């Protein structure tokens, strides 16, 4: 080959090599770049996904399930342990426990988005178990000791456990998210069955202190197992500077804000039976050894409510399931005005547990659905529960105050607080319906064809 021919050949070869390098370099850079473990999205199956659901089940058993047993404490405190205090004063313990569980939600949710899931789970587990054991040491008649241990200590520990355990589900499930959430929060229903029976039986056969020490031991074992089982996915970065931008986007989302307002109204009245049903049953003349099982029956009904509607919500949409459940819950609260026998209370407990359990298990799916475009599901979940927490804080004390009205001669008047609860839930149901209408319009405007 002549030199002139070689000179003609070399530029074309060099050009080809440059093209090959141009192709190879992005591939090499891509292979060297850190992999985003969340790129593939939720898998809706797999060992890690279902182990996470099992761990979340245990967390719900020890948080909401334990809180749902406060009716036992309300009865014990009112009749014996804190008999120097009114039912309204005592209900502040339970409502503040719920409040502490929800109130730090914005910070807990944002910490979840930043990748601190494990830290919160470990710290929350320690705080809840430690505080339950501290509750076993309080003295009879010492209201402030009970309030510190149960309302503040247990509530704060549960705050670090409850919201992260629900939000982590969205990392593993999408198409079957509502059903997976329903399975996980069934742990709260099972806990609501086990805890009242355990606490009532031990309080009768042993002492109040030993009953709480046993409860602390059970919670400790289950939360240890939950920490081992739950598998969060790695989060891409831990920047905490974007919280103000996330909050701004929240206030601009009308459908989300209306749904939060509706949830706040529902929270004013929803928990009335969970706090007062056992006391109501005793006040109707039912034998105490039968009345002790009313909370367990209430939570048994919620098992069906947390599973069946969630199964259909993945097909029909969470809005289309939660709205009928809310209206049925309001109707049942009005019905309880005419229920006075143990058989009637049992039927009420089963049906109310079913409808109220549906709402409690479906509301996280509503929040996640309204958070799809934000990229901050933890922050939005936390903001929702923080907002709801303030209304839970005042709801049951208002109902407790309505039990004692001037001129009642110390007897309990149930009609005012029952009507108040029913009206609050009814208004919340209407609000959720309005939120759905707004969300449908937004979805149509954006050309989205997702289930509602």
Mean pLDDT confidence for 311-328: 90
Helix 155-167 with 177-205: angle, nearest 10 deg: 150
pLDDT in tens, 376-415: 667 787 888 888 888 888 888 888 888 876 555 667 789 9
pLDDT in tens, 349-364: 999 999 998 898 888 8
Angle at 245 (CA atoms; ends 239, 249), nearest 5 degrees: 135
pLDDT in tens, 79-97: 888 888 888 788 889 888 9
pLDDT in tens, 237-296: 544 445 555 567 778 888 889 999 999 999 999 989 988 888 899 888 888 888 888 888
Considering the chain, what percentage of its residues have pLDDT values greater than 70? 83
Q: Which residues of 240-267 are buried (b: 16+ CB within 10 A; e: fewer)?
A: eeebeebeebbeebebbbbbbbbbbbbb
User: Distance between CA 246 and CA 57 in Å, rounded?
Assistant: 29
Higher pLDDT, 243 or 365: 365
Mean confidence (pLDDT) of the chain: 82
Considering the chain, what percentage of its residues have pLDDT values greater than 90? 32
Please give the pLDDT value at position 126. Answer: 96
User: Distance between CA 350 and CA 340 in Å, rounded?
Assistant: 15
Residue 127 has pLDDT above 50, yes or no: yes
């Amino acid at each position: 080959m002549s030199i002139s021919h070689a000179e003609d050949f070399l530029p074309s070869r060099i050009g080809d090599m440059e093209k090959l390098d141009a192709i190879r370099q992005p591939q090499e850079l891509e292979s060297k770049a850190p992999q985003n473990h969340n790129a593939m999205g939720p898998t809706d199956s797999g060992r890690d996904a279902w182990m996470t659901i099992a761990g979340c089940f245990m967390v719900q058993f020890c948080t909401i399930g334990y809180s749902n047993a406060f009716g036992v404490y309300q009865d014990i405190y009112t009749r014996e342990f804190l008999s120097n205090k009114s039912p309204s004063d005592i209900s502040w313990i339970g409502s503040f426990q719920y409040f502490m569980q929800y109130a730090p939600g914005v910070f807990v949710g944002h910490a979840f988005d930043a990748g601190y899931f494990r830290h919160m789970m470990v710290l929350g587990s320690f705080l809840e178990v430690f505080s339950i054991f501290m509750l076993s040491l309080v003295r009879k008649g010492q209201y402030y000791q009970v309030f510190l241990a149960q309302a503040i200590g247990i509530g704060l520990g549960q705050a670090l456990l409850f919201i992260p355990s629900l939000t982590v589900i969205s990392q593993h499930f999408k198409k079957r998210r509502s059903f997976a959430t329903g399975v996980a929060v069934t742990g709260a229903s099972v806990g609501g069955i086990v805890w009242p029976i355990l606490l009532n039986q031990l309080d009768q056969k042993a002492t109040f202190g030993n009953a709480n020490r046993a409860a602390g031991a059970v919670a400790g074992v289950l939360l240890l197992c939950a920490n081992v089982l739950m598998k969060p996915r790695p989060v891409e970065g831990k920047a905490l500077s974007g919280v103000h931008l996330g909050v701004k986007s929240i206030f601009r989302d009308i459908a989300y804000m209306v749904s939060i307002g509706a949830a706040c109204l529902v929270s004013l009245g929803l928990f009335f039976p969970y706090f007062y049903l056992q006391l109501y049953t005793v006040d109707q003349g039912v034998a105490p050894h039968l009345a002790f099982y009313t909370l367990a029956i209430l939570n048994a009904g919620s098992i069906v409510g947390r599973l069946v509607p969630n199964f259909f919500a993945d097909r029909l949409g969470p809005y289309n399931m939660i709205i009928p459940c809310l209206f049925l819950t309001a109707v049942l609260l009005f019905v309880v005005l005419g229920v006075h026998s143990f058989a009637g209370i049992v039927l009420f407990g089963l049906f109310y547990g079913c409808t109220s359990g549906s709402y409690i298990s479906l509301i996280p799916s509503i929040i996640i659905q309204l958070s799809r475009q934000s990229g901050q599901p933890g922050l939005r979940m936390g903001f929702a529960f923080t907002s709801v927490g303030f209304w839970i804080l005042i709801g049951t004390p208002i109902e407790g105050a309505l039990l004692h009205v001037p001129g009642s001669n110390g007897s309990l008047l149930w009609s005012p607080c029952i009507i108040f609860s029913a009206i609050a839930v009814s208004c919340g149901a209407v609000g959720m319906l309005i939120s759905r209408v707004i969300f449908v319009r937004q979805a149509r405007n954006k050309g989205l064809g997702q289930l509602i």
